[in-house]
Amino acid sequence: MTTNHDLFARAQKLLPGGVNSPVRAFRSVGGEPFFTERADGPYLWDVEGKRYTDYVGSWGPMIVGHNHPAVREAVERAIRNGLSFGTPCAAEVTMAETIVSLIPSVDMVRMVNSGTEATMSAIRLARGATGRSKIVKFEGCYHGHGDSFLVKAGSGALTFGVPTSPGVPKASADLTLTLPYNDIDAAKLLFAQEGKELAGLIIEPVAGNMNCIPPKDGYLQALRELCTEHGVLLIFDEVMTGFRVALGGAQAYYGITPDLTCFGKIIGGGMPVGAYGGRQDLMEQIAPSGPIYQAGTLSGNPVAMAAGLAMLQLIQAPGFYDDLTARTVRLTDGILAEAKKAGVPFSVNRVGAMFGLFFTDETVESYTQATTGDVAAFNRFFHGMLERGVYLAPSAFEAGFVSSAHDDAVIAATIATAGEVFASLQA
Ligand code: PLP
């Protein structure tokens, strides 16, 4: 039988760290990753046949669970017609119509192949449209691995202690100004000093790459006002929150209208897809209708569009988000109650179907709180859960995701497992 260990040994000789994306290597939590053979509903099965209840969901896309028949069948139908055309296809138009109808701030959209491409392109558009060079991002927010964003970044960059990566030219990093998340006074000060030079401010409207940290009341609105006052484009990176915290994303949830929005994950239904969109006067500046260049050989790929469209159909079912939120509340309340029972200092954050678990009594609202939390306790908890067949994101700095396939029985089993693990941590 092929084992996880054998595969990882082979992988490490050929792939940097044995993986194609850093957090998958388990370096933060220690130990070795498992290799997934198949996935269905709320579960993953590794190559050794062990089953895991999955709260990572391919890092977000799997909001209806893995291998949903409607998505799979849409892909099967699409591939019969060919894998890529390099010409326009009807599914791209339907996709654009769907996104525009679901997200009121988006008049026009451009499909790309990943969240990273979406954010890089949105920043280029912001710079091209404003004629300004500097951008603002937030400590601990992750916007993919473009040079402009690997400055005090979250996710894997934070996990491995290299929030600002070697290889990012100083000249590029100097154009990225960073602010503490959830601190409006710091933003006001920066805008007073630099406002005239800022092209755009990019933010995860619910931070999900330094664990899960919701915006404080009024924070996003205050940023909206600052951007408007200084002629700075407000860019919501909804690669994670889009179609997850609500059907209309975080912008619908909090009632804010950004100038540009980046998407990824869920809109691809599990295929490699991203998109950026926004106001018509801005989007029309993209080539070929305007001079700001951005392109892609496989962008708007017919198979990816088919998967994404099937997914976007499923999540428009009446009550889908109320139900998903209720499941997330049940899960996080249940885990919190088990922690309290065992006397473990613990708190949770959640917005829609996104959640964060913290080994502290405090409510976590900032990057500083998130990064000074008890990482060792999280790691012990992670391994206790994994051993018992529950897969949480393998880092204290990642959000968790619930899908519509996580039914009451699955959630109750996870809560019971958490209870066992908390008790074992205290033993
Ligand atoms: N933006 C956010 C908020 C993300 O969470 C991610 C990935 O996790 C990205 C951008 C980058 O997306 P991708 O990994 O598809 O390039």
DSSP 63-108: TT-BT-HHHHHHHHHHHTT-S--SS--HHHHHHHHHHHHH-TT-SE
Give CA–CA dist 123/290, Å, rounded: 16
Pocket lining: 209 vs ligand 1, CB cutoff 6 Å = yes
Pocket lining: 204 vs ligand 1, CB cutoff 6 Å = yes
Q: Which residues are catalytic?
A: 142, 237, 265
CA of 415 to the centre of ligand 1 (A): 29
- Cis peptide upstream of residue 258 (ω within 30 degrees of 0): no
Which atom in ligand 1 lies closest to the alpha carbon of residue 274? 15
DSSP letter assigned to residue 31:
S
Pocket lining: 237 vs ligand 1, CB cutoff 6 Å = yes
For residue 28, which of 390, 406, 371 has the smallest C-alpha distance?
Answer: 371
Other C-beta atoms closer than 10 Å to the C-beta of 45 total 15
Mutation test of ligand 1: which of 202, 209, 212, 267 has the most ligand atoms closer than 8 Å to its C-beta? 209
N-terminal to C-terminal alpha carbon distance within the chain: 35
CA of 151 to the centre of ligand 1 (A): 15
ipTM > 0.95 (yes/no): yes
Query: Which secondary structure element, helix H or strand E, spans residue 135, and what is its range?
Result: strand 134-138
Residues across the chain: 427
Alpha carbon distances (Å) from 371 to 206, 322, 354, 376: 17, 31, 19, 12
Pocket lining: 113 vs ligand 1, CB cutoff 6 Å = no
CA of 355 to the centre of ligand 1 (A): 17
C-alpha 399: how far from chain center: 8
Pocket lining: 143 vs ligand 1, CB cutoff 6 Å = yes
pLDDT given for residue 161 in this prediction: 54
CA of 154 to the centre of ligand 1 (A): 10
Pocket lining: 264 vs ligand 1, CB cutoff 6 Å = yes
Pocket lining: 241 vs ligand 1, CB cutoff 6 Å = no
pLDDT given for residue 160 in this prediction: 59
Alpha helices in 131-269 (DSSP H): 156-159, 170-173, 184-194, 219-230, 249-254
Contact indicator for 355, 349 with CB cutoff of 8 Å? yes
Atom 12 (ligand 1) nearest CA: 115
Strands (E), 32-106: 36-40, 43-46, 51-54
pLDDT given for residue 153 in this prediction: 77
Give the chain's residues under pLDDT 70.
155-163
Give CA–CA dist 234/260, Å, rounded: 7
Mutation test of ligand 1: which of 141, 143, 149, 267 has the most ligand atoms closer than 8 Å to its C-beta? 143
CA of 362 to the centre of ligand 1 (A): 28
Pocket lining: 240 vs ligand 1, CB cutoff 6 Å = yes
Q: Which two tokens stand for residue 11?
A: 């992988």
Give CA–CA dist 96/407, Å, rounded: 32
CA of 265 to the centre of ligand 1 (A): 8
pLDDT given for residue 427 in this prediction: 77
CA of 123 to the centre of ligand 1 (A): 14
The 8 Å CB, 24+ separation contacts for 14-22 are 21/156, 22/156, 22/159, 22/160
Atom 7 (ligand 1) nearest CA: 144
Mutation test of ligand 1: which of 239, 267, 351 has the most ligand atoms closer than 8 Å to its C-beta? 239
Which atom in ligand 1 lies closest to the alpha carbon of residue 119? 10
Provide the b/e sequence for 173-193 (b: ≥16 CB within 10 Å): bebbbbbbbbbbeebbebbee
pLDDT given for residue 163 in this prediction: 60
Contact indicator for 136, 227 with CB cutoff of 8 Å? no
pLDDT given for residue 158 in this prediction: 63
Pocket lining: 238 vs ligand 1, CB cutoff 6 Å = no
Q: Which two tokens stand for residue 424?
A: 């074992």
CA of 71 to the centre of ligand 1 (A): 22
- Report the DSSP beta bridge partners of residue 200: 135, 233
Contact indicator for 335, 418 with CB cutoff of 8 Å? yes
Contact indicator for 335, 357 with CB cutoff of 8 Å? yes
CA of 142 to the centre of ligand 1 (A): 7
DSSP letter assigned to residue 358:
E
- Report the DSSP beta bridge partners of residue 313: none
Pocket lining: 92 vs ligand 1, CB cutoff 6 Å = no
pLDDT given for residue 162 in this prediction: 56
pLDDT given for residue 156 in this prediction: 66
Atom 9 (ligand 1) nearest CA: 144
For residue 345, which of 383, 382, 374, 365 has the smallest C-alpha distance?
Answer: 374
Mutation test of ligand 1: which of 142, 238, 243 has the most ligand atoms closer than 8 Å to its C-beta? 142
pTM tops 0.80, yes or no: yes
Contact indicator for 54, 43 with CB cutoff of 8 Å? yes
